[in-house]
Amino acid sequence: MTSPDIPNGNPISQWLTSIRDYFRFVGNRRLDGSARVIPDTGKTVPFLVFFMGGVALLVAFADPELLEWVRAGEAQTEGIFAATTDLGKSNWILMLSGAVMIVMSFFRADRFRGKRYVIWHRIFLNFYFVFTTVAFSGLLALFFKNAIGRARPPFVEGVGVWQSIPFGDNFEFASFPSGHSTTAGAMTIALMLLFPRFRLFFILAGLWIAISRMVIGVHFPSDVFGGFAFGAMFTWIYARSFACKRLLFSFVGNDGLMLRGEHARTKLAKASSL
């Protein structure tokens, strides 16, 4: 006997179908053509110059200082930086956001109506955005770490600060970019976009986590800068892909981004204050 609430009497089949239907709905959204996912070269080239120039300057001037600091035994392997550095690990973020999405998927959106449906949709998309931006940026960072194969500070021999074994696939030669800093940069931008009122706190927290990788002596300044900048830029571009599908974010002003609904409330508040 089949249940009237479950097609074919198979709850697993219904669950998988509901997930497929939801992402089909997301994929078929009408696109917003007012801006592009990747901005024109006038905006991307300055960032690339800043990124490459920053890495080069840090390799030349800051990395040698940190190497000497680590060799002198000054790295703080205990204390507040060591205690908080693992907040930059992606696994706990992925497990938490993934668990929330799985739980929410059992309470299908079509069970709700009106305002409750909008709330379900927004919460699910929030966690989906966080999960995927951390996962995708982390996987890319992992690829670059392995492809570049830069030695971490404790394993550098001789006087040069840039020593590498490309595709060495081991911890000792996986320094650039810093994975923790990539996650910190990605989460900083993601949370700033989702909760703009608390952006200062998120910036400070993200920088703290990134800097902790240098303080405990496992990454060079250029690794941290490269990872944080990469994670931040990836998330910003990824959020623009959501805005193109009119999900979570909207394009505003000169290629800016804002949480959907926030722009309208801001305009209304300004109008009412006149």
Domain range summary for the chain, segments of one domain joined by +:
40-93+128-248
Look at the domain 40-93+128-248 and name its fold. Vanadium-containing Chloroperoxidase; domain 1 (1.20.144)
Unique residue bearing structure tokens 């110059």: 49
| pLDDT for residue 28 is more than 60 | yes
Alpha carbon distance 203, 223 (integer Å): 18
pLDDT reported for residue 74: 94
Unique residue bearing structure tokens 């931040």: 232
Q: Which two tokens stand for residue 233?
A: 């830029």
Encode pLDDT of 196-222 as tens digits: 999 999 999 999 999 999 999 999 999
Burial 113-136 (b: 16+ CB within 10 A, else e): eeeeeeebbeebbbbbbbbebbbe
Torsion over CA: 13, 16, 20, 23 (sign): positive
Least confident of 120-124, 239-243, 268-272: 268-272
Q: Is the peptide bond before 39 cis (omega within 30 degrees of 0)?
A: no
In this structure, the number of other CB atoms found within 10 A of the CB of residue 222 comes to 27
Encode pLDDT of 142-183 as tens digits: 999 999 999 999 999 998 999 999 998 899 999 999 999 999
pLDDT reported for residue 2: 37
The pLDDT confidence band at residue 110, using thresholds 50, 70 and 90, is low
Q: Is the pTM of this model over 0.75?
A: yes
Instruction: State the distance between the two ends of the chain, measured CA to CA, in whole angstroms.
Output: 65
Q: Which two tokens stand for residue 96?
A: 């938490």
Unique residue bearing structure tokens 């920088």: 207
The pLDDT confidence band at residue 267, using thresholds 50, 70 and 90, is low
pLDDT reported for residue 108: 67
